[in-house]
Amino acid sequence: MTAPTPATDERRRARAALDQAPRSLRGLLVKVAILGVVDAVAVYALFVLFLQREWLVFGIAVAVLVIINVVYLRRGLLPAKYLLPGVLFLAIFQIFVVVYSGYIAFTNYGDGHNSTKQDAIDAIVLTSQKRVPDSPTYQLTVLDQLGLLSFLVTDPEGNVSVGGEDRPLEPVTGYGTDATGKADELPGYTTLDFSGIVARQAEIAALAVPLSDDPNAGSLRTPDGSRAYLYISTLEYDEASDTFTETTTGEVFRDNGHGAFANSSGRELVPGWKIDVGLENFFTAFGTESIRGPLLATTAWTFSFAFLSVATTFALGLFLAIVFNDKRMRGKRFYRTLIILPYAFPAFLSGLVWLGLLNQDFGFVNQVIFGGADIPWLTDPWLAKVSVLVLNLWLGFPYMFLVCTGALQSIPDELSEAARVDGAGPWSIFRLIKLPLLLVSVAPLLISSFAFNFNNFNVIYMLTGGGPRNVAAGVDAGATDLLITLVYKVAFGSGTGRDYGLASAFAIIIFIVVAIVSIIGFRQTRALEEIDR
């Protein structure tokens, strides 16, 4: 064994010294400052959560705080240091959204099942207060005695009575009146003025003063603090048995386990509330006739639309990138800047513009470009499909152009030079060298673009609304409906209201489909094999 040379020795010592030397001081200060601020904010959040007793969120926040500190204060853990900020945002604003939408799929959240059971009970009680017909309007003054509220009412005939919660009205004397003859003060009580009423309005609004000892005679309530009316509740809630009873017919409404109170013949009280329904939404999703019927055709079109959109935009984008990639050409910048224009406009604005352009009788395209032709761009099923694809091409080719330009730039020139020296023509160079390299780097973008267009709700909805619909064939889906627009219509419109639970179930199903297709796509292109370098 040779003795270690002075050179390697030195180098080893240098490296050892380097390992132990402090990193740049400025870097350390910056890191500590940022970490300090983040920790302070997190501690504050923990404090507030603690006060609000949100234990689940509190626990999560504690875990996140610990993770952040461990990652940034420990030496090493480099990947985590770089990934943590982005992943944090991802986790909170994307992953949580997906998970929560997934959760909604297992509930019946939607119109009619909007909130909690208590809210539903409160709302039913509120709307079941009906004013007794032909009952008079009472002039009201709200009185306060040692914190207990009372109503001082003057009926149209001038009779004055006072009462309170569970204290039926009783006539009084010795009251004071104001100019209109309304009784507005009573000895021993303090009269509340408007601001006093506002301060206790929740209590006053809930106050029901019985008219008399007979519970069926109704009670007085006030909507605005200066007038009272006689109300009868048509539905009484019994907390012990958790039922509503109709006062006139005696019908009983029970919790039917589906988020509503229903009587024996199935009539439900409105509103209901949100409950977990397990897999019911998924069964409905597969069982709804209005979806299942056109499902095959719509799925086929959705796949074609996504695939063709990607293919056409990529082809045009690539073609243009190659065309403008020539060093000798002047004015490249000019063309490139203007080609970006369609991409610069918000997509839905463009959709509305094209909608006008393609109008059969009045649109620019028919009148000017085709010289007065009568082409039914948006009302013929196949032409509508073409229109939608053309609009998507128009919207998307600048993005592909940009990406391909960048990707082409990064292909080393030596490769093409070498090939040209070997005698290959420009088309072979492109086909055998540039295109494969390009595809490798661009493939995941194409797949993501496919996924995006699979769910491209805006373009379709703006241009055709999913139509045209073939009503004669009884088909509920339009010729350009994607799965997502179909879902939107079924879940949000044409049924009896918005059904978020059903919509979320569909969203999960579509997400799974798209994810599977994408994974297969990734495998096929073997793009990520490159990662294993």
Partner 1 sequence: MKVNSRTLAAVGALAAVGLALTGCSGNSGTPSEGGTLTVWVDADRATVLEDVAAQFEEDRGVAVELVVKEFGDIRDDFVTQVPTGNGPDVIVGAHDWLGKLVQNGVVAPIELGDAAADFQQVAVTAMSYEGQTYGLPYSVENIALLRNTALAPNAPATMDDAIATGQALVDAGDAEYAFLVGLDPNAADPYHLYPLQASFGAPVFEITADGTYDPTKLALGGSGGEAFAAQLAAWGEAGVLNTNISGDIAKEEFVAGKAPYFLTGPWNVPAIAEAGIEYSIDAIPSAGGQTATPFVGVQGFYISAKSENTLAANEFLVNYIGSEAVQTALYKVGGRAPALLSAFEAAQSDADVAAFGAVGAEGVPMPNVPAMDAVWADWGATEVAIINGQGDPVELWRAMVASIEGKIAG
Partner 2 sequence: MTTAIVTDSPEDLARRGAKERRRPFGRWFRETGWRHLVGVAVLVFAAFPLLYVLSASLNPSGTLVGSNQLFRVVDIGNYIELFNRPTLPFAAWFTNTVVIGLVTAVCTVFLGALAAYAFSRLRFTGRRIGLLSLLLVQMFPQLLGVVAIFLLLSGIGEIFPVLGLGSQVGLIMVYLGGALGVNTYLMYGFFNTVPASIDEAAKIDGASHAQIFFGIILRLVAPILAVVALLSFVGTASEFVIASVVLTEPSTQTLAVGLYQLVSNETSKNWTLFSAGAVLAAIPVMLLFVFLQKYIVSGLTAGAVK
From candidates 194, 286, 345, 370, binder to partner 2 by CB under 8 A: 345
Q: Binding to partner 1 by residue 122, rule CB under 8 A?
A: yes
Q: Binding to partner 2 by residue 394, rule CB under 8 A?
A: yes
- CB 157, min distance to partner 2, A: 48
CA distance 533 to 417: 26
CA distance 246 to 126: 14
Q: Which of residues 438-497 bind partner 2 (CB under 8 A)?
A: 441, 444-445, 447-448, 451-452, 455, 457-458, 484, 488
CA distance 102 to 508: 7
Residue 399 interacts, among partner 1, partner 2, none and using kind-specific CB cut-offs from 5 to 8 Å, with partner 2
Residue 223 interacts, among partner 1, partner 2, none and using kind-specific CB cut-offs from 5 to 8 Å, with partner 1
Q: Binding to partner 2 by residue 372, rule CB under 8 A?
A: no
- The residue count for binding partner 2 (CB under 8 A) is 109
Other Cβ atoms less than 10 A from the Cβ of 78: the count is 9
Region of 38 (left: φ > 0; alpha: ψ -120 to 50; beta: rest) is: alpha
Inter-residue contact 434 to 425 (CB < 8 Å): no
CA distance 494 to 186: 58
For partner 2, the closer of residues 283 and 457 by Cβ is 457
Inter-residue contact 528 to 444 (CB < 8 Å): yes
Give long-range contacts, CB 8 A cutoff, 24+ apart: 61-68: 64/88, 65/39, 68/35, 68/38, 68/39, 68/42
For partner 1, the closer of residues 230 and 442 by Cβ is 230
Q: Binding to partner 2 by residue 433, rule CB under 8 A?
A: no
- The pair of structure tokens assigned to 227 is 């007038």
CA distance 210 to 218: 6
From candidates 393, 405, 486, 489, binder to partner 1 by CB under 8 A: 489
Instruction: Report which secondary-structure segment, H or E, holds 506.
Output: helix 500-525
Q: Which residue's entry shows tokens 């005698």? A: 423
For partner 1, the closer of residues 205 and 433 by Cβ is 205
CA distance 344 to 90: 26
How far, in whole angstroms, is CA 376 from its chain's centroid? 35
- The pair of structure tokens assigned to 18 is 């380097």
What does the DSSP assignment read for 345-402? S-HHHHHHHHHHHT-TTT-HIIIIISSS----TTTSHHHHHHHHHHHHHHHHHHHHHH
Q: Which of residues 275-294 bind partner 2 (CB under 8 A)?
A: none
Q: Which of residues 2-31 bind partner 2 (CB under 8 A)?
A: 18, 21, 23-24, 27
Q: Which of residues 195-224 bind partner 2 (CB under 8 A)?
A: none
Q: Binding to partner 2 by residue 364, rule CB under 8 A?
A: yes
CA distance 401 to 322: 9
Q: Binding to partner 1 by residue 526, rule CB under 8 A?
A: no
Inter-residue contact 352 to 333 (CB < 8 Å): no
From candidates 19, 157, 170, 361, binder to partner 1 by CB under 8 A: 361
Other Cβ atoms less than 10 A from the Cβ of 225: the count is 19
Collapsed DSSP state (helix, strand, coil) of residue 279: coil
Q: Which stretch binds partner 2 (CB under 8 A): 254-262, 275-283, 301-309, 512-520?
A: 512-520
How far, in whole angstroms, is CA 12 from its chain's centroid? 58
Compute the Cα dihedral for 180, 183, 185, 186 and give only its sign: positive
From candidates 360, 367, 416, 458, binder to partner 1 by CB under 8 A: 360
Percent helix, percent strand, percent coil in the chain, to nearest 5:
55, 15, 30
Q: Which stretch binds partner 2 (CB under 8 A): 124-132, 271-279, 356-364, 427-435?
A: 356-364
Q: Binding to partner 2 by residue 57, rule CB under 8 A?
A: yes
Q: Which of residues 446-475 bind partner 1 (CB under 8 A)?
A: 464-465, 467-472, 474
Q: Binding to partner 1 by residue 168, rule CB under 8 A?
A: no
Q: Binding to partner 2 by residue 518, rule CB under 8 A?
A: yes
Residue 386 interacts, among partner 1, partner 2, none and using kind-specific CB cut-offs from 5 to 8 Å, with none
- CB 206, min distance to partner 1, A: 9
Residue 378 interacts, among partner 2, partner 1, none and using kind-specific CB cut-offs from 5 to 8 Å, with partner 1
- CB 48, min distance to partner 2, A: 5
CA distance 455 to 449: 10
Q: Which of residues 375-414 bind partner 1 (CB under 8 A)?
A: 378-379
Q: Binding to partner 2 by residue 349, rule CB under 8 A?
A: yes
Q: Which stretch binds partner 2 (CB under 8 A): 45-53, 145-153, 166-174, 219-227?
A: 45-53
Q: Binding to partner 1 by residue 51, rule CB under 8 A?
A: yes
Residue 129 interacts, among partner 1, partner 2, none and using kind-specific CB cut-offs from 5 to 8 Å, with partner 1
Q: Which of residues 256-315 bind partner 1 (CB under 8 A)?
A: 270-271
Residue 447 interacts, among partner 1, partner 2, none and using kind-specific CB cut-offs from 5 to 8 Å, with partner 2
Q: Which of residues 64-123 bind partner 2 (CB under 8 A)?
A: 78-79, 82-83, 85-87, 89-90, 92-98, 100-101, 104, 109
Q: Which of residues 223-262 bind partner 1 (CB under 8 A)?
A: 223-227, 229
Cα angle vertex 492, ends 456, 255, to 5°?
Answer: 140
Q: Which of residues 194-223 bind partner 1 (CB under 8 A)?
A: 194-195, 197-199, 201-202, 204-205, 222-223
Q: Binding to partner 2 by residue 43, rule CB under 8 A?
A: no
